[in-house]
Homo-oligomer: A and B are copies of this chain.
Amino acid sequence: MASRTATDLVHPDRTQLRFTTVLAALSDPVRLAIVARLADVEPDGELACTTFALPVSKSTQSGHFKILREAGVIRQRDEGIRRLNRLRRDDLDAHFPGLLDLAIPQGRDVIANWDSKAR
Protein backbone atom coordinates (compact mmCIF):
# COMPACT_ATOMS: atom_id res chain seq x y z
CA MET A 1 0.00 0.00 0.00
CA ALA A 2 1.20 3.53 -0.67
CA SER A 3 2.10 5.60 2.33
CA ARG A 4 -0.92 7.04 4.04
CA THR A 5 -1.11 10.47 5.52
CA ALA A 6 -3.78 12.15 7.57
CA THR A 7 -4.72 14.20 4.54
CA ASP A 8 -5.97 11.07 2.80
CA LEU A 9 -8.80 10.87 5.26
CA VAL A 10 -11.51 13.15 3.96
CA HIS A 11 -14.24 13.99 6.44
CA PRO A 12 -17.25 16.17 5.74
CA ASP A 13 -17.73 19.08 8.10
CA ARG A 14 -20.72 18.94 10.39
CA THR A 15 -22.50 21.41 8.12
CA GLN A 16 -21.92 19.17 5.12
CA LEU A 17 -23.73 16.12 6.49
CA ARG A 18 -26.49 15.06 4.12
CA PHE A 19 -29.48 13.01 5.23
CA THR A 20 -29.61 10.88 2.08
CA THR A 21 -25.89 10.09 2.26
CA VAL A 22 -26.06 9.19 5.94
CA LEU A 23 -29.10 6.94 5.38
CA ALA A 24 -27.36 5.22 2.49
CA ALA A 25 -24.31 4.66 4.69
CA LEU A 26 -26.47 3.09 7.40
CA SER A 27 -28.48 0.91 5.02
CA ASP A 28 -26.11 -2.02 5.18
CA PRO A 29 -25.80 -4.70 7.87
CA VAL A 30 -21.99 -4.68 8.01
CA ARG A 31 -21.92 -0.91 8.41
CA LEU A 32 -24.64 -1.09 11.09
CA ALA A 33 -22.50 -3.62 12.93
CA ILE A 34 -19.51 -1.26 12.79
CA VAL A 35 -21.66 1.54 14.19
CA ALA A 36 -22.91 -0.68 17.00
CA ARG A 37 -19.38 -1.74 17.96
CA LEU A 38 -18.28 1.89 18.05
CA ALA A 39 -21.31 2.80 20.15
CA ASP A 40 -20.11 0.31 22.76
CA VAL A 41 -16.96 2.37 23.35
CA GLU A 42 -18.56 5.82 23.39
CA PRO A 43 -18.00 8.56 24.22
CA ASP A 44 -14.21 8.57 24.05
CA GLY A 45 -13.32 5.15 22.78
CA GLU A 46 -11.76 4.43 19.43
CA LEU A 47 -11.39 1.06 17.79
CA ALA A 48 -8.79 0.03 15.22
CA CYS A 49 -10.15 -1.30 11.94
CA THR A 50 -8.42 -4.61 12.60
CA THR A 51 -10.44 -5.30 15.75
CA PHE A 52 -13.90 -5.59 14.21
CA ALA A 53 -13.82 -9.25 13.12
CA LEU A 54 -16.32 -8.65 10.33
CA PRO A 55 -17.36 -11.56 8.11
CA VAL A 56 -16.14 -9.85 4.94
CA SER A 57 -12.80 -9.54 3.17
CA LYS A 58 -10.32 -6.90 4.25
CA SER A 59 -10.87 -4.83 1.11
CA THR A 60 -14.66 -4.98 1.47
CA GLN A 61 -14.25 -3.94 5.08
CA SER A 62 -12.11 -0.96 4.05
CA GLY A 63 -14.82 0.08 1.62
CA HIS A 64 -17.43 0.00 4.38
CA PHE A 65 -15.29 2.19 6.66
CA LYS A 66 -14.73 4.63 3.82
CA ILE A 67 -18.46 4.95 3.12
CA LEU A 68 -19.14 5.60 6.80
CA ARG A 69 -16.36 8.18 6.99
CA GLU A 70 -17.30 10.02 3.83
CA ALA A 71 -20.93 10.16 4.95
CA GLY A 72 -19.83 11.68 8.26
CA VAL A 73 -20.91 8.76 10.44
CA ILE A 74 -17.41 7.98 11.75
CA ARG A 75 -14.17 9.84 12.20
CA GLN A 76 -10.94 8.05 11.32
CA ARG A 77 -7.35 8.86 12.18
CA ASP A 78 -4.12 7.05 11.69
CA GLU A 79 -1.88 6.29 14.63
CA GLY A 80 1.24 4.45 13.58
CA ILE A 81 0.09 1.49 11.54
CA ARG A 82 -3.37 1.51 13.06
CA ARG A 83 -6.41 3.30 11.67
CA LEU A 84 -8.65 4.28 14.54
CA ASN A 85 -12.40 4.86 14.33
CA ARG A 86 -14.95 6.66 16.44
CA LEU A 87 -18.59 7.56 16.03
CA ARG A 88 -19.46 11.18 15.19
CA ARG A 89 -22.23 11.08 17.75
CA ASP A 90 -22.39 14.83 18.42
CA ASP A 91 -22.60 15.78 14.76
CA LEU A 92 -25.18 13.14 13.92
CA ASP A 93 -27.34 13.88 16.95
CA ALA A 94 -27.25 17.58 16.14
CA HIS A 95 -28.47 17.08 12.58
CA PHE A 96 -30.56 13.91 12.73
CA PRO A 97 -31.65 13.42 16.33
CA GLY A 98 -32.61 9.87 17.13
CA LEU A 99 -31.17 8.32 13.99
CA LEU A 100 -28.11 6.77 15.64
CA ASP A 101 -30.28 5.46 18.45
CA LEU A 102 -32.39 3.64 15.87
CA ALA A 103 -29.34 2.31 14.04
CA ILE A 104 -27.33 1.02 17.01
CA PRO A 105 -29.78 -1.69 18.17
CA GLN A 106 -30.14 -2.78 14.55
CA GLY A 107 -26.37 -3.20 14.37
CA ARG A 108 -26.38 -5.15 17.63
CA ASP A 109 -28.98 -7.49 16.12
CA VAL A 110 -26.70 -8.04 13.13
CA ILE A 111 -23.78 -8.94 15.42
CA ALA A 112 -25.94 -11.23 17.56
CA ASN A 113 -27.10 -12.99 14.42
CA TRP A 114 -23.51 -13.50 13.25
CA ASP A 115 -22.55 -14.80 16.69
CA SER A 116 -25.42 -17.27 16.79
CA LYS A 117 -24.44 -18.63 13.39
CA ALA A 118 -20.81 -18.97 14.48
CA ARG A 119 -21.73 -21.10 17.48
Segment of A5-13, A24-32, A76-84 engaged in the interface with chain B: A24-32
Report if A98 contacts B (CB, 8 A).
yes
Q: Which of B27, B97, B98 contacts A23 (CB 8 A)?
A: B27
Q: How far apart are the CA atoms of A24 and B106 in the complex, in Å?
A: 14
Interface flags for A88-116 (1: CB within 8 Å of B; 0: not) read 00000000111100110010000000000
Interface of A (DSSP majority class):
helix
A109 (CB) vs chain B CBs: closest residue: B19
Q: Which residues of B contact A23 (CB under 8 A)?
A: 23-24, 26-27
Contacts of A106 in B (CB 8 A): 19-20
A73 → chain B, closest Cβ, in Å? 12
